[in-house]
Structure 1
Amino acid sequence: MSGLFPMTPLELRPNRHVIPAGTELWRVHSTKYVPNEFNPKLADPFEFKDGSRFDGTLLDPYHCLYLADTATTALAESVLRSRPFEPSAGMRLIPYAAVWRRSLSVLRTRCELNLVSLIESPDLAAVCQDSTLLEDERNYVQARRWASEIRAQVPDVMGLIWQSRHNRPQRALVLFHDRFGPGDGEPLEVLPERGIADLDSDAGIEKANQILKPLRSEISRPRRE
């Protein structure tokens, strides 16, 4: 921690959500990363367009790892942000660039994950927030600051969990790398050959589109010269 948090006089009283050891979770990630590797990239603490909602920043430099409870949720959280339904197609068309050099992986928890719940309105109220924390695409600066407030006031929390915006009522979560001690080993075990190693391949796009079909969404195939 940077020592700059907490910055609010409000006392947070977060509700806990525990994910048991042995739980399978899904992740969409850059293919250059090992599936259970935390993303070391830090977001600009003052720029909402940079990074994801609960990323670490230079003011609170934790590495993060985003996960979801199902393959559909993981894909939806990754590729459906701000995607409108196209009148001509009657569905959401996802550009090929959204899956280029990306993978869908399955992981299994090796330990209990002790998380702060942001799933229901009372959970958000417990940390002095409302749905704006999760819904507003322009609210990333505030969301990151409040993640740091939670981390400062609840030093044993390993991450956050909330209801997916793009696949309700399923869940998405983020883990903080610095809340796992060196003696804990890797908190997540990779389950090989269960996901889609190359989402940008023809076979990968076909499998992903089958997963996204109930959400009326489809990844476009690259143009062939």
Structure 2
Amino acid sequence: MSFQQRPITFFPMTGEELRPNFKVIPAGTELWRVHKSKYRPHQFNPLLADIHFDGGRFEGTPLDPYHSLYVADSALTAVAESMLRSVAWNGTKRTIPYAAAHGRSLSVLRTTCELTVVSLIEEKDLAAVRRTADLLDDERSYAKARRWASEIRAQAPEAMGLVWQSRRNRPENSYVLFHDRFAGCHCGALEVVPERGFADLGSPEGIEEVNRLLDPLAAEVSKPLR
């Protein structure tokens, strides 16, 4: 990966100095990712979110145009974070539409150097960046969360991403990584672990694997309509 860092242009969310707490991901750590199959396993999402509306919680925007890559501590957490959003209980199990698995892959990445990320895991970590759990839990304010991510990035130029406790598989962690903070990692900071993961989660074998993973969370992906 070879990225050129770009300047951040945004309207500050606060005049206060943030004092973020950092967490170091050691070299050799394995992280799991669910991604569109058209992307390489370690390819950052090249799309930017809208400033006010569409887009993920911590994706870059035209005001702060970084590319993002979401990973998790385990296969289950990666699948749950990708597929369990806004899925309601329906009887004894949560049913996930087949479209959530179609065209997606499950991959394993390994860090080749230490990654320094801002921790949002504990309440004290959120307080350090002048936020509460709403930054992570509120489904209605993704645009505001993206602005706060830019504020954190601006005040913590060494931060290569963020880490927080998964809302869908506590207490494991989810991460977002910022592509423009990897310029100093020679030879690429993430390598693909071969023969791990699943190339086609929408295949019959892929659906079986996803449902095996999701069974402890009482959730399953529906079969495709014939």
Q: Which residue of 2 aligns with 1:216?
A: 218
Alpha-carbon shift at residue 183 of structure 1 (Å): 5.5
Structure 2 residue corresponding to 1:103, chosen from 102, 105, 125: 105
More off after superposition, 182-191 vs 131-140: 182-191
Alpha-carbon shift at residue 7 of structure 1 (Å): 4.0
Taking the aligned partners of 1:186 and 1:175, their CA distance within structure 2 comes to 13
Q: Which residue of 2 aligns with 1:39?
A: 45
**Contact 1:45–1:141 at 8 Å: present in 2 too?**
yes
The sequence identity of aligned pairs, in percent, is 63
**Contact 1:27–1:74 at 8 Å: present in 2 too?**
yes
Name structure 1 gaps, 5 residues minimum.
none
Taking the aligned partners of 2:170 and 2:196, their CA distance within structure 1 comes to 23
| Pairing 1:93–2:99 present | no
Taking the aligned partners of 1:116 and 1:122, their CA distance within structure 2 comes to 12
Alpha-carbon shift at residue 2 of structure 1 (Å): 3.4
- Summarize the Cα distance change of 1:113–1:5 in structure 2 as closer, same or farther, 3 Å threshold: farther
Structure 1 residue corresponding to 2:77, chosen from 73, 88, 91: 73
Q: TM-score, normalised by structure 2?
A: 0.95
Q: TM-score, normalised by structure 1?
A: 0.95
**Contact 1:16–1:115 at 8 Å: present in 2 too?**
yes
Moved beyond 3 Å, runs of 4+: none
Residue pairs, 1:1-225, within 5 angstroms: 1-47=7-53, 50-87=54-91, 90-181=92-183, 184-224=186-226
**Contact 1:115–1:157 at 8 Å: present in 2 too?**
yes
- Summarize the Cα distance change of 1:70–1:9 in structure 2 as closer, same or farther, 3 Å threshold: same
**Contact 2:8–2:154 at 8 Å: present in 1 too?**
no
Alpha-carbon shift at residue 182 of structure 1 (Å): 5.9
Tell me, what secondary structure is at the counterpart of 2:149? Answer: helix
Taking the aligned partners of 1:27 and 1:116, their CA distance within structure 2 comes to 19
